[in-house]
Amino acid sequence: MVKFTAGFALASVLSLAHATDFKVRVRNLTYLQPFSPMLVVAHTNDVALFKEGLPASDAIKLMAEDGDNSALLELAASDDVAPYICGAVAGEGPVFPGETWRGTLTIDESACPDPVYSVVSMLINTNDAFVGIDSDDLNVYGSSKVFPPAFDAGTEANNELCTHIPGPACPADSGNMEDVPGEEFIHVHRGFHGVGPDLGEANYDWRNPVAEVFIARQ
């Protein structure tokens, strides 16, 4: 299985004669954990955006620590990965608690008769937590609703220090220092426990699920 990360406008490569639009809605269910720009990818089962229990790719690491999808964009457009991508849509800004992001996912059904979809976005008041859906079946003739948990990318220790957290809970000039090695595999996140002096668990902890993801054929 090929591991990939992706998120870019695919209109230029889709066969418009077989393109189908799906409306996507992602609601942030946390209290004070904004999401980085959402990334929703439809693909074949030959590839995976991420896999629980395995190490994160460098591109997932960048997304989970910095909320940065740039490496995902590059990989999705690569010769090795692009043939397995059915469609993708990426958000342009953060999704704050209680808010909903909406997008349109355009899929080439001729290339992907049985697509699956994956979703990733960083919880940006953390070290390396991200909301994730891994290769869930896409109901091409109806709709689906999933309530995903937050995962720990395992790429940075959860020291909960503002010097290692890029989110708005921390001062803008606190920086986002080089990471301290973490658990080294993707797993369900244990939450925010206030282990550092900067942020407390009363405000920044959560209980899974952290999001509601709805996808329906238009």
pLDDT per residue rounded down to tens, the chain (218 residues)? 334 433 334 444 444 557 899 999 999 999 999 999 999 999 999 999 999 999 999 999 999 999 999 898 788 888 898 999 999 999 999 999 999 999 999 998 887 889 999 999 999 999 999 999 999 999 999 999 999 999 999 999 999 999 999 999 999 887 667 667 889 999 999 999 999 899 999 999 999 999 999 999 99
Rounded distance, CA 137 to CA 81, Å?
19
Domain CATH for 101: 2.60.40.2130
Chain center to CA of 65: 11
Output the pLDDT for position 176.
67
Output the pLDDT for position 17.
55
Q: Which region, left, alpha or beta, applies to residue 184 given φ > 0 means left and ψ of -120 to 50 means alpha?
A: left
Reported pTM: 0.90
Could you list the residue range(s) of the whole structural domain that residue 91 is in? Answer: 2-217
For the beta carbon of residue 188, count every other beta carbon within 10 angstroms: 12
Rounded distance, CA 215 to CA 98, Å?
18
Given a contact cutoff of 8 angstroms between Cβ atoms, the answer to whether 126 and 36 are in contact is: no
The number of distinct structural domains making up the chain is: 1
Please report, to the nearest 10 degrees, the dihedral formed by the alpha carbons of residues 41, 43, 47, 51 taken in order.
40
Output the pLDDT for position 108.
85
